[in-house]
Amino acid sequence: GQQLNQSPQSMFIQEGEDVSMNCTSSSIFNTWLWYKQDPGEGPVLLIALYKAGELTSNGRLTAQFGITRKDSFLNISASIPSDVGIYFCAGQNATSGTYKYIFGTGTRLKVLA
Amino acid sequence: GAVVSQHPSRVICKSGTSVKIECRSLDFQATTMFWYRQFPKQSLMLMATSNEGSKATYEQGVEKDKFLINHASLTLSTLTVTSAHPEDSSFYICSASLGNTIYFGEGSWLTVV
């Protein structure tokens, strides 16, 4: 199925560092969602974005809905060991006429204490 | 709120048998649910969109006769893997739509021996 381009694919960072990842699409989206998935579990919703230009925070996490509606960014500040996991973006295509979401390829984050 | 539960979390079945996985929205009604398959270290691949009271919409390449989906109520969708083979072994995840946001179940590990 169709997937979004998510980068970077993986990151190894030191505890306390900030992290940034993004997703880009060739299509316009009307909703962007960011999830974190721990091994062997289902993804957990972190942040939902519904308007172009929207900037939303959830604790140390901040995400933005790109003004072109074709990209989104997720930043994690002052990373801690429990931030380890796979982060996925998901976008709802505005022209698809359905509620179907397309998922990014994922960013694997490892935090070194 | 917005809790989605899957059952069973793990199942082992013999090759040639069928196995059913349930997805329930516990505290909201979901007219649309989604079923995904995830291979190790890969993103979620949408298999089908389950619509309450109507037939599921399958993604290209997904065999609808093999992966039977039933969405009989606003809180329950089921995925039945028929005549399972070892190559069907995977992590299956469901999600339920609430407004423009989707919430995931915990996932179900299927092992076909």
Each residue's pLDDT tens digit, A11-35: 999 999 999 999 999 888 999 999 9
User: Mean pLDDT of all residues in chain A?
Assistant: 92
Cα Rg, chain A, nearest whole Å: 14
The contact set of B with A (CB < 8 A) is 2, 4, 6, 32, 34, 41-46, 49, 57, 59-60, 91, 93, 95, 97, 100-107, 109
Residue whose C-alpha is closest to residue B103's, from B24, B40, B8, B7: B24
CB contact under 8 A, B45 and A48: no
Tell me the three state secondary structure of residue A82.
Answer: helix
Return the higher-pLDDT residue of B108 and A93: B108
| A92: Cβ contacts below 8 Å, ≥ 6 apart | A29, A30, A31, A32, A33, A99, A100, A101, A102, B100
Which among A45, A92, A102 is the nearest to B103, CB-wise?
Answer: A45
Q: Which chain B residue's Cα is nearest to A10?
A: B41
Residue from A100, A107, A108 whose CB has the most chain B CBs within 10 Å, to mutate: A100
Question: How close B82 gets to chain A, by Cα (Å)?
Answer: 22
Instruction: Measure the CA–CA gap between B100 and B82, rounded to whole angstroms.
Output: 32
Q: Which chain B residue's Cα is nearest to A100?
A: B49
Return the higher-pLDDT residue of A92 and A59: A59
Please give the pLDDT value at position A97: 58
| A103: Cβ contacts below 8 Å, ≥ 6 apart | A3, A4, A88, A89, A90, B43, B44, B46
Please give the pLDDT value at position B41: 84
Instruction: Measure the CA–CA gap between B48 and B94, rounded to whole angstroms.
Output: 10
Please give the pLDDT value at position A95: 62
Please give the pLDDT value at position B42: 87
Each residue's pLDDT tens digit, A51-86: 999 999 999 999 999 999 999 999 999 999 999 999
Question: How close B30 gets to chain A, by Cα (Å)?
Answer: 12
CB contact under 8 A, B49 and A99: yes
Provide the residue type at B32 as one letter.
Answer: T
What are the chain B neighbours of A50 within 8 Å (beta carbons)? 100
Please give the pLDDT value at position B54: 87
pLDDT along chain B (113 residues), means of 10: 93 97 95 92 90 90 95 94 96 92 95 97
Please give the pLDDT value at position B4: 96
CB contact under 8 A, B101 and A90: no
Residue A59, CA distances (Å) to A77, A78, A79, A81, A111 in order: 9, 11, 11, 15, 18
Tell me the three state secondary structure of residue B57.
Answer: strand
Which among A33, A41, A108 is the nearest to B101, CB-wise?
Answer: A33
The partner residues of A19 in beta bridges, in order of sequence, read A76
Asked if A9 and A107 count as a contact pair (C-beta separation under 8 A), the reply is yes
- Angle at the Cα of B38 (from B80 to A25), degrees rounded to 5? 120
Instruction: Measure the CA–CA gap between A79 and A87, rounded to whole angstroms.
Output: 14
Question: How close A42 gets to chain B, by Cα (Å)?
Answer: 4
Please give the pLDDT value at position A113: 83
The partner residues of A71 in beta bridges, in order of sequence, read A24
- B104 alpha carbon, distance to own chain's centre: 10
Count residue pairs from A and B with Cβ separation < 8 A.
Answer: 62
